[in-house]
Amino acid sequence: MFTAQQIALIINAKIEGDASISVTSFGKIEEAKNGQISFLANPKYEDFLYTTQASVIIINEDFILKQPIAATLLRVKDAYSAFATLLHKYQEIQTQQLQGIQQPSFIAPTVKIGDNVFIAAFAYLGENVTIGNNVKIFSSVFVGDNVHIQDNTILHAGVKIYNDCKIGKNVIIHAGTVIGGDGFGFAPQQDGSFKKVPQIGNVVIEDFVEIGANTTIDRATIGSTIIRAGAKLDNLIQVAHNVEVGNNTVIAAQTGVSGSTKIGKNVMIGGQAGIVGHITIADGSKINAQSGVSKSMTEPNQAVTGSPAYDYTAALRSQAVARKLPELEKRIKELEKQLQSILAEKTV
């Protein structure tokens, strides 16, 4: 239970209303009940502001009320970010309560474990693993030999981390994700068969990265596949061997990135995009959903769409022309009739 005053201190908010009112849970603004806290960031939901039963509501500091409301308001610069901060704090409190090692689990004698660590039942930690402080490892997680996991990282149920990989601080890896599986490397032979190329590198995941459920990040053939600090990967993504994903880049679900491609920082990649191998994506690039990127994007902050992907603005113009094709066809036929009529008159 928290009061509006306590919450305001966490998110640096100005209070309008009863500062002593308490809340015990969160609720969507259209469904929230008495004793819950909600927020308004999207103008589409403004009507619910005047009908909700929420006790406390976080809103933007410049929002102008159209009519009085009963709830206590917490005014902030960015309501959405403030609500995210509050949820993060709530989640921290919950996870901090998890400590200790449940049984049955296997922990090799050479494992080094920091303070306030939680290891759930059926986890496996191999030889020479290092676990930092406040790390949370949930059930059925596999951590291979020589893996290093730094402070405050969370590995959800069923995560698999192969040998020699390195995970930074404040990383969240969701259920079913595989880190460090073999890259797709096969050398074609004269008889038409394929000879496996051993993948002896690793995966390095830097600080403050979040990786969604059932994503796969392959180990490098030689060297490292690297996910730079602050990157966010959605569910069901394939990152191939020796790929590098830059700082604060976000990649949506079902995207595939082929081997040795270098993606810059602050890149945004939509769902189901496909990126070929051995190319470079410049900083700040935007790749629209379902785009197929077949060559390097060398100019920063450019947007592409389509398959093969090309300039986003040019694509929109092409689409606009395509929508007018039936009308243009009709006009061309009319012009042809007029031309035929003029020619007929001249031959008379």
Which residues are known catalytic residues? 241
Residue 321: enclosing H or E segment and its boundaries? Answer: helix 312-323
C-alpha separations of 158 from 144, 175, 232, 341 in Å: 13, 5, 19, 76
Tokens read off for 114:
């920091």
The contacts of residue 282 (CB under 8 Å, 6+ apart) are 264, 296, 297, 298, 299, 300, 301, 302
Q: What is the largest CA-CA distance in the chain?
A: 105
- Of 276, 251, 253, nearest to 266 by C-alpha is 251
Handedness of CA 284, 230, 157, 257 (dihedral sign): positive
Tokens read off for 285:
């690039």
CA atoms within 13 A on the CB side of 170: 9
Tokens read off for 244:
């590098």
CB atoms within 10 A of CB 45: 15
Handedness of CA 311, 317, 318, 319 (dihedral sign): positive
CB atoms within 10 A of CB 199: 21
**Angstrom distance (rounded) from CA 251 to CA 296:** 17
The contacts of residue 66 (CB under 8 Å, 6+ apart) are 46, 50
**Angstrom distance (rounded) from CA 32 to CA 53:** 6
C-alpha separations of 82 from 13, 38, 45, 116, 258 in Å: 9, 11, 17, 28, 37
CA atoms within 13 A on the CB side of 302: 16
